[in-house]
Amino acid sequence: MPDDVAHPGDPAHPGEGPASGTVGPASGTGRPASGTGRAASGPTAAGAAPEPRGLDLPWADGTFPPDTVAARRQVWDALMGLALHEATHALASDDVPVGALVVGPDGRLLGVGRNRREETGDPTAHAEVLALRQAAATLGEWRLEGCTLVVTLEPCVMCAGALVLARVERLVLGAWDPKAGATGSVWDLVRDQRANHAVEVVGGIREDECAHLLRAFFAAQR
């Protein structure tokens, strides 16, 4: 997600930003999503299943992702709304507005992140990397097998590599990046047959809204 990221095309609904009223996770805390739904401390009773970790999200029957294409699209749209909400908080620090989140195999929210390079001076503080770090902290391990990462802009080379290394199962992205995208546009690192892990890619979710947010940001920089 370089500063010269491509400015995607015009949105279908000019002037439309992230969906308002979407209830999302608390933004900008920089803390693992550990407050709600974390496994209780102390020993687990013999034979008892460990409590799920992360924040419970309102998926209808607990099946994640849903079985039907239409139901999956509704869930991807809702998750992208949360990522868009997180992306808007990057504007306060003049960072490129990209937001990301990680959900576990059961659909529980494990981590969120937004671009914070300008805010922190950290060249690796991309939304995807911060969301992955928070998810790993929530789970207590680096392997994010079965997890889904949702992000408003196609990941760069660094973030695509992080997805592979973290063993993320699925990537759901909003706007494609024809200048620096590394999950299908310029490169396709997450589905390279030479890699030791492949990531499923679902692209173009709420693409117009994601593109509009980025285009408005870069227009204001000129």
Six-digit token string for 22: 């979407």
Full DSSP string of 75-86 = HHHHHHHHHHHH
User: Does 147 show up as a binding residue in the annotation?
Assistant: no
Give the strand pairing for 148-153 and 170-175. parallel
- Residue 92 carries which DSSP code? G
Q: Of 128, 154, 207, 209, which is the active-site residue? A: 128
Q: Please check if 156 is assigned to a binding site.
A: yes
Catalytic-residue membership of 51: no
Cβ-proximal residues to 187 (8 Å cutoff; 6+ apart), any chain: 157, 160, 181
**210 assigned to a ligand binding site:** no
Give the containing element (helix H, strand E) for 110.
strand 109-114
DSSP 48: P
Q: What is the CA radius of gyration of the chain?
A: 17
Q: Which residues are catalytic?
A: 128
Report the binding-site residues for Zn(2+): 126, 156, 159
Report the binding-site residues: 126, 156, 159
